[in-house]
Structure 1
């Protein structure tokens, strides 16, 4: 095999002609590929008719050929339109062009099979891979709780608040080592970053198998979390670079399915391992769980990531996407105003004061910080309180405790799916976030009371995963807020996540003291307060989101004016656009409407 053929088998940056509004563009331009890309398609699908006049810049913004424009008079706008999340995010054509049953693959732009194929491939590559990656991470995190109730506590002589304090130390590792990714994230490809970090995660998961005392366990958990610091922000950065705003919640849902799957399989695996391997080769059952987790799950996941993570559309490293599909992904981002990346030479210095002002001196940043902080600290589901409550019931054996511990996470699949898929189906995230917050508050209120019937207590614990359910909607909101600048997006994601997680490093140590087990009255109260703020703060986020999208209405295919406020129809409507049916299109040189897609 010649050295020149290595690109066929290893991830490399794909050289595909960029879509540009500054030059004449033809179908032949898009079929040009690197000389190294032998065997790739030579011509794009005939479904695309790419015209020479791509866009026109006006004082109000840029007009493009691939957008049908809606002229909207806001004179009679109703008050309840505030709750229409996509009021300024999508015009009538965008909303009408999809069938209800195809909401996960709306094809609202091209109406072609090519875009649908792209989405299928993305779901298989990054959707399912991030599910698997999150499962690996969640399994390890939940293994700590499962191991604790499976005699690790006795073997390592853990007493008092050692359980929660070890968790806090682990969280500190993740927080500290997230910060360098403000620099790394927009500069280096994700298919390199994540697998390398996963290798470190795998090694220190294995190290937990060898922990002989509490100090060594804490050191290993700290370093393990440090290597796991990348996977939340990097995965969301990648997802936000490929999916449209009404597609992403469903895909983040797959990510959270992995987290829930970890909660389910951890208890079941620990129960089975404890029963089958406890004492084998002189090792306790809880040690075998860490060994199997690292060698059989985490290590293969890290290796697979190197080949399946595609990078971002502007810097694609995929072995599985065609040149046509990469171009389609870039065009989708153009329509959705998603700027996924720029060249390293064009990125401002991380020490630039102007850059940091752009991040911290905007109200949106602080609105999102409060939002994410409330999300982190209202998650009763991850407190371990349910498992510790089961462990306090004498009639349950260790195996029964591990088996029953998976029940809330099993229900969590349904709760997360309702919120994530409902958000994309109805194009409305805020409703499901508020509803989930209400259900979480009801659960916490019952557990604060505590002296209730056994059935009520079971109901309350089984409802705890409503605290997790709206997370895909939250992360979709953040991605949509930050789609305009990849550098600001990277810094803001890391900053929001670090600030929020830092509160999660010390609040649990005060609210969820192990010595208060199984009745965590302070913990449930804290969760209820944060849950209530979370539900109410959703309307604040909605206000800022609507304000942002109104400013970008033209980019979203909506031309606004208000006849009651004496705001005229913008002059470019007559000079640059031509009406066809109920929509306006950019004129061609012959004054006919230009369209990129048929």
Structure 2
């Protein structure tokens, strides 16, 4: 049996130290309900999943986002990119990334994630390194495709992995920390390129942008080895060296108790696909994420605008990096707030609603340069990806393979759209105002808000129906009464969640 503390046990709660009470507020809001054994297990999981996952995702974003840094630091001139070649390079990367999302993520339900993701990270490190030797933009097309193909399974697989281990009071902030490590990787790329450009440009006859790819490729290998040695795989097949037999058994029991189905419980095939496509969840979550993700493209053109505005090489590498630091802070705040309050909808809808402001400014492109700078700097505030994927993990907790397929579909199909949408609305020949691109993303923000409200309404309806199915059988004349009782029970469950949150605050 699970050995967690029982809620509302004052004797157990009073035994907590001040730090443990503080941790209940600042980290996991249900810490005071957990036994020392469970808290120790979570610390080990955070080391094995969160720390090593963040390092890998940091490198994944650094290795994929360095193209923009290289482009504005001499690659454009060296490879004679005078048309839309930069856009096409992004497209080839996106095609590789999108095509291998679903098969790659589904593979980790059958193959140990530590081994599979290690192979993939080594692969994208090799092709990141290879870009340093590109002589033509055609070669860069091939290298970018391979980088995207090897990077594809990492993000959705890690989301699936975290969703298999953590509960609803733990998951969102950890996904947020994992996700913001990508923003830090993008931000670090700007500082790294600025340092490389000023110290290595011309060394051994190579341009600074080529040295950037060499440095990034060399940094990737140690992170890949860390994945192989530390990632704990899944609760059902973990053999992590730092987990005892009792901790592995407890973790599996905990996962099952949380209602998370395990790999292999259902066969793959047409039956699985039929179940997935017969539910609104796949359509709603995929559509919502595709629309939302497509609305977040504005910040990718920050450095290009700065170059057209006359900023120097170092400035257009460093200043956009500051916007990614703002994004990273907001990503964590949205995940922390979502776990603390227990609300997914508020922290999905709210940040995207703010997105109307920066996308609106860029859509109308005012003459005031400071407003444009403000829009680019704060465009990442709308990033609530971590909470969105947490929401998806929870809505599909009882369907293991469908959860993996849906998460990879969300990310993969969003990148599939990103493979061609920038060519249509963000052609480089329309830089820097992009009179189709910025108004288009403004419309996508509005559409995303509408879809998110629809997901919330359908999720609430399903919860009411689940309560009704669990209730005792009623006669035909009791239907109306039963529906009122279910509605009352549904509202009371939300009240209980709020009461738990207040209890956590009172601990401090």
The TM-score with structure 2 as length reference comes to: 0.87
Residue 521 (structure 1) aligns with: 435
Structure-1 separation of matches of 2:457 and 2:4:
38
What are the residue-to-residue correspondences of 1:118-517 with 2, within 5 Å?
Answer: 118-181=41-104, 183-295=106-218, 297-342=219-264, 347-348=266-267, 350=268, 352-382=269-299, 384-394=300-310, 396-468=311-383, 470-517=384-431
1:549 offset after TM fit, Å? 3.5
Alpha-carbon deviation of 1:249? Answer: 0.8
- State the shift of 1:432 in Å: 2.1
CA contact (8 A) 1:130 1:258 kept: no
CA distance in 1, matches of 2:42, 2:288: 30
After superposition, the C-alpha distances for 1:49-89 in whole angstroms (9 at most, x for unaligned) are 9xxxxxxxxxxxxxxxx999xxxxxxxxxxxxxxxxxxxxx
Q: Which runs of 5+ in 2 are unaligned?
A: 9-19, 486-495, 497-508
Structure showing greater Rg: 1
Contact 1:105 1:119 survives alignment (8 Å): no
Structure 1 residues 319, 521: closer, same or farther in 2, change over 3 A?
same
Closer, same or farther in 2 for the Cα pair 1:110/1:164, shift >3 Å?
A: same
CA distance in structure 2 between the partners assigned to 1:520 and 1:530 by the alignment: 15
Structure 1, 245-254 or 104-113: larger mean CA deviation: 104-113
Does the alignment pair 1:102 with 2:19?
no
TM-score by length of 1: 0.74
Equivalent position SS for 1:312: coil
TM-superposed CA distance for 1:465, in Å, is 0.3
- Following the alignment from structure 1 to structure 2, what is the Cα–Cα distance between the partners of residues 263 and 165? 20
Q: Aligned-residue CA RMSD in angstroms?
A: 2.8
Structure 2 SS opposite 1:406:
helix
Q: CA deviation at 1:538?
A: 1.6
| Distance in 2 (alpha carbons) for counterparts of 1:436 and 1:48 | 34
Name structure 1 gaps, 5 residues minimum: 1-18, 20-26, 28-46, 50-65, 69-97, 571-581, 583-598
How far is 1:448 from its partner?
1.7
* Counterpart in the other structure of 2:13: none
CA contact (8 A) 2:298 2:441 kept: no
Q: Secondary structure at the match of 2:100?
A: helix
Higher strand share goes to which structure?
1
For 1:107-133, what per-residue CA distance to the aligned partner results, in whole angstroms no more than 9, with x for missing partners?
A: 479531111111222222211212111
